[in-house]
Amino acid sequence: MAPALRVFLTSAEIQKRIGEMGASIAKDYPSGPLYLIGILRGSFMFLADLSRAIAVPTRIDFIGISSYGKDKSSSGQVKVTKDLDVSIEGCDVVVVEDIIDSGITLSYLLSLLEQRRPRSIRIAALLDKPDRRQRPVHVDYVGFEIPDKFVVGYGLDYAEDYRALRDICILEEG
Ligand code: IMP
Ligand code: MG
């Protein structure tokens, strides 16, 4: 049977929470500028909305990290598929991630970015599944803590499908 989608977070709920996240980020960096580093590809929609919710100057770049293939759980192997185009040395950086699951992707990425000597580095994640954590990661700004369910939409995919949905939905196997 085809998988079924059940709405879990509506577009309105997501936008309201992103407004709150943007306000607390702006409060923590009152003078900007802030480098927002989006992790491709799942964070692209969140980054677009979060950047507009932060009322201090921001700059944007993306890094491509892959650890998943077509599966629903991490392969445990992480590789950089697209590096940053800019230097972040001396910059205040906020890494923007769609969802934190095992923590493997982010702990790898943080050690990579720290070698580039930013002035500070924090993490903003729209979704967090704390029950699934295998590596400890401190997330500074969390949108929603969610249970251990596979979700799609608002940038998140399953085998590259469903990214364009406005709501975040639980993907239920038929
Ligand atoms: P981690 O390395 O296990 O923390 O995996 C993080 C990455 O796995 C995220 O950036 C997503 O790309 C992907 N991921 C984890 N859980 C989900 C999910 O429920 N739906 C879609 N992608 C997910
Ligand atoms: Mg991702």
Residues whose CB is less than 8 angstroms from the CB of residue 66 and which lie 6 or more positions away in sequence, other chains included: 78, 79, 81
Q: pLDDT-derived band of residue 69, with 50, 70 and 90 as boundaries?
A: low
State pLDDT tens for residues 74-127. Answer: 666 788 999 999 999 999 999 999 999 999 999 999 999 999 999 999 999 999
Asked if residue 169 lies in contact with residue 151, where contact means CB atoms within 8 angstroms, the answer is yes
CA of 122 to the centre of ligand 1 (A): 19
C-alpha distances out from residue 17 to 4, 5, 103, 108, 116, Å: 26, 22, 22, 27, 31
Q: Which CATH architecture has domain 12-149?
A: 3-Layer(aba) Sandwich (3.40)
Position 68 scores a pLDDT of 56
Ligand 1 atom nearest the C-alpha of 67 is 2
In this structure, which ligand is nearest to the CA of 157? 1
Q: Which residues are catalytic?
A: 101
Position 66 scores a pLDDT of 79
CA of 128 to the centre of ligand 1 (A): 9
Position 95 scores a pLDDT of 98
* Ligand 1, atom 3: closest residue by C-alpha: 102
CA of 41 to the centre of ligand 2 (A): 6
In this structure, which ligand is nearest to the CA of 43? 2
pLDDT at 73 > cutoff 80: no
Position 72 scores a pLDDT of 62
Please state whether 8 falls in left (phi above 0), alpha (psi between -120 and 50) or beta.
alpha
- Cα separation of 67 and 45, whole Å? 20
State pLDDT tens for residues 26-63. Answer: 999 999 899 999 999 999 999 999 999 999 999 999 99
Asked if residue 120 lies in contact with residue 92, where contact means CB atoms within 8 angstroms, the answer is yes
State pLDDT tens for residues 123-146. Answer: 999 999 999 999 999 999 999 999
